[in-house]
């Protein structure tokens, strides 16, 4: 199965240190929706794996998160794409859950639910915790400079072998034109 795993905030949509708390605050990064549509047309399953601690912090509820995701899905479909599944962690760091990245719980849930091996599957993120979670399941970690990506590049010591792209569109271009090995 051709599969790509994407973080949400900072990869698909603009991120905010104050969290994306409503559908109105969710705005796509230029080219990201088209990139997802290209992946879909080329036979890739696109999965989102995202920390959403704003739920546990009381900044928004599950219904609001559902409406944010509905807006994202609608926007992707309007471009001819599809997101096949969304996995998220609603906990905050102090909850000590297994699903919050950098722990691999979301990825393990993807493995369990989809009955797939993530070894060699690209996992695109903008933070060190995205990289760490992907590596824990032998996925191919990729960093984008959007979102917190530029900050991550400046401070992280874990990126020596991680491909870095300007954005999701640049990653998708390299994957689909063969400049990156397919999974």
The catalytic residue among 7, 126, 130, 167 is 7
Residue 6 CA to residue 51 CA, distance in Å, equals 11
- Catalytic (active site) residue 9: yes
Tokens 């603009």 locate to: 14
What is the 8-class DSSP label of residue 30? T
- Catalytic (active site) residue 7: yes
Q: Which helix (H) or strand (E) holds 3?
A: strand 3-6
Tokens 């969290």 locate to: 19
Which tokens go with 145?
Answer: 């400079």
User: Would the CA dihedral through 32, 34, 36, 42 be positive or negative?
Assistant: negative
Tell which residue, 122, 130, 83, 125, has the closest CA to residue 104: 130
Catalytic residue positions, numbered: 7, 9
């Amino acid at each position: 199965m051709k599969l790509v795993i994407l973080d949400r905030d900072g990869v698909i949509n603009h991120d905010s240190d104050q969290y994306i708390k409503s559908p109105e605050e969710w705005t796509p990064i230029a080219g990201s929706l088209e990139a997802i549509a290209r992946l879909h047309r080329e036979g890739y399953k696109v999965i989102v794996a995202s920390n959403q601690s704003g739920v546990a912090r009381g900044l928004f509820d599950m219904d609001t998160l559902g409406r944010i995701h509905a807006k994202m899905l609608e926007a992707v479909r309007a471009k001819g794409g599809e997101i096949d599944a969304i996995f998220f962690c609603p906990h905050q760091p102090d909850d000590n859950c297994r699903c919050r990245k950098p722990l691999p719980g979301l990825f393990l849930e993807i493995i369990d639910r989809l009955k797939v091996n993530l070894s060699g599957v690209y996992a695109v993120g903008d933070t060190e915790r995205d990289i760490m979670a992907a590596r824990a399941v032998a996925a191919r970690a990729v960093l984008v400079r959007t979102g917190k990506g530029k900050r991550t590049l400046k401070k992280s010591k874990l990126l020596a072998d991680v491909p870095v792209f300007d954005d999701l569109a640049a990653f998708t271009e390299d994957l689909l034109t063969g400049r990156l090995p397919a999974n």
